[in-house]
Each structure stands twice: as structure tokens, then as C-alpha cells.
Amino acid sequence: MSDYQIALAGNPNSGKTSTFNSLTGSNQYVGNWPGVTVERKEGRLKTDATVTIQDLPGIYSLSPYTPEEVVARDYLLHGQPHAILNVVDATNLERNLYLTTQLMEMGIPVVIGLNMMDIVAKQGKKINLEKLAYSMGTPVVGMSALKKRGLQEAINETIHVAKQFPVEADYPTYDARLETALNEIVDVLGQTVLEKQSRWYAVKLFERDTQAQQELNLSVIQKKEIEEIICITEKIFKDDSETILINERYEFISRVIHLCAIEKDEIRLSFS
């Protein structure tokens, strides 16, 4: 029997499978996700057989546009993993953290496994992991799946947060006017969704995500109230709701990256 389910999530080529193979060794099961030709890889942690790891397909976003996004989203929303180890390519922080902001909204604790730190080191760059963790609101562990470094620390940290489950997972906060709208949608949803998933559904409904609309079976009044909230916010921002959220995510990320990029003479906390 498996006590803890950990999901490995991240962009394509961020190093998920390399991480998965190192952590699980030959304790792997490979198949397909039901109904789609997307590969499913599940394995037991080599150092602790009570921990199951899911190697989710690589994705850039959790908008259900591709079969990979649908599989990852369904598993994270309905498969009940205890924690997510988000494998992030440290050489491509802006694009990778875009997914991280979405993972953090799902009500599941997230640990960032900051991968490719060997390349960052080779490039003579430094990232302040402590400031990255602080500004993102998640634990961060530096690693190199290629050199097999930091992997055990990353999975240990993920198991640690999994064991604290259920916790109130932290998520990025955006412009106050957007936050007002999202909180109003949370209020309209009330008991319609699990409390821990209310942020996720508020964001998705704000984006007019049809998958979320179909999943929730909202009343006519709820739909009308939510549409009013969205329209008012679009007028305030003079933009459509999906663009508002994309912009806010990138503004959040640019603040994070600005904070954690280390100046030349401030070399501390680098990966070693």
C-alpha cells in the first residue's frame, strides 16, 4: 500500500523523467492514461516504498488545450496527490514559473525542484534560492538530474510537505483589483467546490475556461453573477479576462526573478 502520492510536474524537457528514473530506479510501471495515447509512468521511491511518484506529461500551462494538459490537470484535480514536485529548468525561469503559478493555485503543496543548476553554474550565473523560495511562497531545492545531485533532498522536502497535508497551500497574489474579483467569485461559488480548490476554480471561471464551467454545473444565478464580476473587471483593466491573468502572472514572475537574480559581488547561497 502506498501512503504518499507525489506528482512530478513541469515543462517539457525540464528534467522530469531523468528525476523520475533516478528516484524510482527499476520500480516503475509504464502504461497509458485512460482514453489517450499519453504515456503514464508511475513508480515507487527507491528509498521509501510507501511513496508513489507520478511522472506527469510535460506541459506549459493547465489550460486544457492539449491531451497532455488534460491528463495533468485531471490527475492534479481529481487524483488526489499529496504534493507536487515541480521540476523547473533554472535556465528558463520565466517560462517555467508560468506553470508554477498555476500549479500553486490547485490547493496542493508545491516544492520547486530547481533543475539544470549544473548549467547555471557553468554559465557563471547565480540564483538566490532563499529569495526565490520566499518570493514564490514555496520551498526551493537546487538540483541537477543529469549529475544526480539534489534529487534526494528535493523528494525529501516534497514528502515533508506531503506529510503536512492538508495544509493551506500558498498561491501568488495579483493586482488588488483582480484579487477583489477572484474573491468575489470564491464567494459566489460557496460550497460548490472544495475549499482548497476554490482559488483554482475562481481563476479558471474568471478566464471563462469551458472545462471548468462544464465540470461545476453552476446555477443560472451563479453564472450570471460571475459573468458580471468578469465584465466589470474587464472594464477596469480595459482588457479581456484571459489577458488580464496572463499579464498578472508575468508581472508576478518578473518581480520574483528580479528579486532572486544575484549580483556579481553577492555570491552566497549558490548551488554547490
Residues that bind ligand GDP (CB under 6 A): 10, 12-18, 58, 115-116, 118-119, 144-146
From the list ligand GDP, Mg ion, none, pick the one residue 128 interacts with, judged by a Cβ distance below 5 to 8 Å according to partner type. Answer: none
From the list Mg ion, ligand GDP, none, pick the one residue 115 interacts with, judged by a Cβ distance below 5 to 8 Å according to partner type. Answer: ligand GDP
Strand ranges, E, within 139-183: 140-142
User: Alpha carbon of 180 to those of 19, 142, 185, 192: distances in Å?
Assistant: 39, 35, 9, 19
C-alpha 270/C-alpha 121 separation (Å) is 8
Q: What's the min distance (Å) between Cβ of 113 and ligand GDP?
A: 10
Helix axes 198-206, 241-260, angle to 10 degrees: 120
**Residue 95, C-beta contacts closer than 8 angstroms, at least 6 positions apart:** 11, 60
C-alpha 101/C-alpha 257 separation (Å) is 13
Given the rule CB under 5 A, which residues bind Mg ion? 16-17
By beta-carbon proximity to ligand GDP, the closer residue of 15 and 81 is 15
Q: What's the min distance (Å) between Cβ of 19 and ligand GDP?
A: 7
Cβ atoms of residues 248 and 256 within 8 Å: no
By beta-carbon proximity to Mg ion, the closer residue of 12 and 190 is 12
From the list ligand GDP, Mg ion, none, pick the one residue 146 interacts with, judged by a Cβ distance below 5 to 8 Å according to partner type. Answer: ligand GDP
Q: What's the min distance (Å) between Cβ of 39 and Mg ion?
A: 8
C-alpha 249/C-alpha 254 separation (Å) is 9
By beta-carbon proximity to Mg ion, the closer residue of 61 and 213 is 61
By beta-carbon proximity to Mg ion, the closer residue of 38 and 167 is 38
